[in-house]
Amino acid sequence: MDGVLPGGYWGVDGRLHRDFELAALTGRDEELMARADGVGSAALVTEVLSRCVQRLGGISPVTPEVARELLVADRHFLLLRLRSAAFGDQVRASLLCPWPGCGERVSLEFSLADVPVVEASQRSFLHTVTLSSEALGESDPVSADVTFRLPNGSDQEELSELLALNEAEALTRLLSRCIRRIGPYEPPGEQRIADLSPRARSEIEECMEQLAPKVEQTVEVTCAACTRTFLVPLDIQRFFFGDLRTDASLLYREVHHLAFHYHWSEREIMEMTRDKRRTYINVLTDVLEVQNCGA
């Protein structure tokens, strides 16, 4: 599988790497991800991407360090591609309509190929925003320019636990990690970042949002009973690893089935991709049905 990232990775050589090659998950990958603690955690995303991204631009192999530095949307985009390869594009689920007075069960079906993806509006490792006079207040006007990088996987890994406990503190820490310069101050220091006014923080965060690539994480659903629409959150990380967890027991049954009939080792079977393993399962099922019919 190959493709192009909506954002891209800036290498130490100053080059932007966007095109990639993905290897499909093997049985061993599926087992590791299904059994790992912290389903959907940023660290687990880094692990699976470092295993499956074979090449990123001119970078190969793609180490955990590189996977960790990918922009958040790029990591989500790669997970969607891996999920499509392993389970197909179609997603089917059911949920209850949240509108008052309804509560009917709604069928949800969509294709991952239709999930909106927005490319980065500007391609640069660092970006600069000029704060408004309202944001500066009584601050030194020479501090109007703020230079920052966009959030990446390393920020997710570092701040995910704090985000669940204290969102405001997590956002402050995120700015401390991403802001590289405030006016002439480089690095600006945590105190100078903490002293930013709420308006200044808002302008910086809004600029980050506008510049970053995006993978839509909501799905619009219409209830057939009441005809009203509502948005369903699509947590791409939990969605991807949840599928792997659901199929974990099936994986072992498939390994047993192939080992029993073909006498292959567990290692040989677990190194197969999901598609190849399922192809052998289907062939074996057809053969056994013919034999049973003739018995």
CB 40 within 8 A of CB 61: no
- Clarify whether residues 16 and 89 are in a common domain: yes
pLDDT in tens, 109-152: 888 888 999 999 899 999 999 999 888 876 666 678 999 999 99
Coil vs helix vs strand at 25: coil
Which pLDDT belongs to residue 244? 66
Does pLDDT of 236 surpass 90? no
- Clarify whether residues 254 and 176 are in a common domain: no
Mean pLDDT over the full length of the chain = 88
Element (H, E) at 192: helix 190-194
Which pLDDT belongs to residue 295? 56
pLDDT in tens, 163-175: 888 988 898 899 9
- Clarify whether residues 230 and 200 are in a common domain: no
**Nearest in space to 72 (alpha carbons), one of 193, 232, 175, 208:** 208
Where among 164, 191, 212 does a domain terminate?
Answer: 212
Share of the chain above pLDDT 70, in %: 93
Where among 212, 232, 262 does a domain terminate?
Answer: 212
Which pLDDT belongs to residue 273? 85
- Clarify whether residues 22 and 113 are in a common domain: yes
- Listed range (4-13, 208-217, 281-290) with the worst mean pLDDT: 281-290
Angle (CA) 198-200-201 rounded to 5° is: 65
pLDDT in tens, 84-118: 887 788 888 888 999 999 999 998 888 888 899 99
Element (H, E) at 178: helix 167-178
- Clarify whether residues 55 and 103 are in a common domain: yes
- Listed range (77-86, 131-140, 189-198, 251-260) with the worst mean pLDDT: 131-140
The model carries a pTM of 0.85
Q: Domain count for the chain, please give it.
A: 3
- Clarify whether residues 95 and 222 are in a common domain: yes
- Clarify whether residues 108 and 227 are in a common domain: yes
- Clarify whether residues 74 and 158 are in a common domain: no
- Clarify whether residues 168 and 192 are in a common domain: yes
In which domain, by residue range, is 39 found? Answer: 2-118+215-244
Mean pLDDT of 151-157: 95
CB atoms within 10 A of CB 79: 21
- Clarify whether residues 25 and 61 are in a common domain: yes
- CA 77, CA 82: separation in Å to the nearest integer? 9
- Clarify whether residues 105 and 24 are in a common domain: yes
Mean pLDDT of 234-245: 73
- Clarify whether residues 76 and 208 are in a common domain: no
pLDDT in tens, 174-188: 999 999 999 999 999
Which pLDDT belongs to residue 192? 87
Does pLDDT of 63 surpass 80? yes
